[in-house]
Chains A and B, each alone.
Chain A
Amino acid sequence: MTTPGSHLFKYAAPQKFYALAGRMWPWFAALSAALVAVGLWLAFFVAPIDAQQGQGYRIIFVHVPTSQMSMLIYLVMAGWAGVGLVFNTRLSGMMASALAPTGALFAFLSLVTGSLWGKPMWGAWWVWDARLTSELILLFLYLGFLALQSSIDDPRRADKACAVLALVGVVNVPVIYFSVTWWNTLHQGASVSLTRVPSMAAPMLWGMLTMVLAFWMYTVAAALARVRSIILERERHTEWVKHAVE
């Protein structure tokens, strides 16, 4: 009995996925580069100056993509974690591990670009607004994931433990965001949000969306490339790995 798409299940085997990922990641990298080029052109040469924030608002063309991706990656990691726990597949854990560093780096970049945006606009290198604070906590969640992974020697146990952690984290993220938003409005009253973007002219929106897509493609490329190394590391005692490296 073949259901449509059932032939895709063969890619759940690390050996098959290794080859597939090897063919796929250059395309995603190229796509990402092209989208970055278009996005940067839109960001600097099409999007006009902003009435309130001058040229400084252009930081959103990296700040928004990095924060969006940091959150999306965490969701996808948790998704892989769930799949891995339910179906007991090795590759799911490897995919989650491949995504985590990229997500953590984007969370970090989101904080850096957020600070660089905040300083000229609001006068301080760090403002405890809800979005930035939640992003900081998201970075902590990523760091916890990476720390747990590196401290457990057995890769299967590490994958499963991190899977539980990722799922617990993903359930907590809305709770954390709600709490931080509450805390923020309570203490700052009706203050402006750091991440309130200017009412968006169409070119601004297009530029931002292009950059988000560009970073998304980059993430896929990075994860596919990284998972190949992970597969080689984990499966090092199999025949096919021996031959793959010769």
Chain B
Amino acid sequence: MQWNSLSEFLAMGGYAVYVWGSFGATALVMAAESLLIRRRRKAVQASLRAEPPFNSQQQP
């Protein structure tokens, strides 16, 4: 273990903003993307359920 304390870990030798900024941005973007994918799926499902019953004579 190379960190003597939590505060030392968070300080990252003075580079805290840059290191945690990078990891934070990455985590944020990936989480946001996952949410967006899930939202898109819900939207598709909702719009499919809202459509009128399928009529095989209908023109697409």
A and B touch in the complex (CB under 8 A): yes
Contact status B37-A222, CB under 8 Å: yes
Contact status B13-A59, CB under 8 Å: no
List the interface of chain A (C-beta within 8 A of B). 44-45, 48-49, 54-56, 58-59, 61-63, 66, 101-102, 105, 108-109, 112-113, 116-117, 119-120, 218, 222, 225-226, 228-229, 232-233, 236-237, 239, 241-242, 245-246
Number of interface residues of B (CB under 8 A): 31
List the interface of chain B (C-beta within 8 A of A). 1-3, 9, 12-15, 17-19, 21-23, 25-26, 29-30, 33-34, 37-38, 40-41, 44-45, 48-49, 51, 54, 60
Pick the contact of B15: A56, A61, A228 (CB < 8 A).
A56
Kindly report which residue of chain A lies nearest to residue B30, judged by CB atoms: A218
Contact status B29-A109, CB under 8 Å: yes
Interface of A is mostly: helix
Contact status B22-A112, CB under 8 Å: yes
| A222-B34, A242-B48, A245-B45 as given contacts; A120 in contact with B15, CB under 8 Å | yes
**Complex CA–CA separation, A40 to B21 (angstroms):** 15
Kindly report which residue of chain A lies nearest to residue B46, judged by CB atoms: A245
